[in-house]
Amino acid sequence: MAETLDVIQAAVNSYQEGKKTLEEVIQESVVEARSACQQSGNQSPECAVAWDIVEELQAERSHRKQATEIKTSLDHYCYLHPDAAECRIYDV
């Protein structure tokens, strides 16, 4: 288990240092998780931990996509002026 976690930690560190993209780190982590499950069994704690790490990395990717989503000028205006008539949402 220590070897698998060390490999995944090294991949995460290289991402934080700007040497790899988040996608590359996720791919490496998936490979390591599959390897851990083959070696230790699908029900092992090592397998679960490795897949938990993959899930956290994928969640980070999802959060970054949401944060960089392009907003319209109306969205920006409503963010700055939430009480403006154009920004009000009425239930019909």
Check if the beta carbon of residue 54 is closer than 8 Å to that of residue 30: yes
Residues 39, 71: Cα–Cα separation, whole Å: 46
Helices 22-40 and 2-16 pack at an angle, to 10 degrees, of 180
User: Half-sphere exposure (CA, 13 Å, Cβ side) for 88?
Assistant: 6
| Tens-level pLDDT at each residue, the chain (92 residues) | 567 667 777 777 777 777 778 888 899 889 999 998 999 899 999 899 889 989 988 998 888 887 667 678 888 888 888 899 988 888 77
Residues 8, 27: Cα–Cα separation, whole Å: 10
Please tell me the predicted confidence (pLDDT) of residue 1: 53
Please tell me the predicted confidence (pLDDT) of residue 5: 65
pTM across the whole model: 0.62
Please tell me the predicted confidence (pLDDT) of residue 12: 75
The pair of three-digit structure tokens given for residue 45, joined into one six-digit string = 């704690």
Residues 22, 63: Cα–Cα separation, whole Å: 12
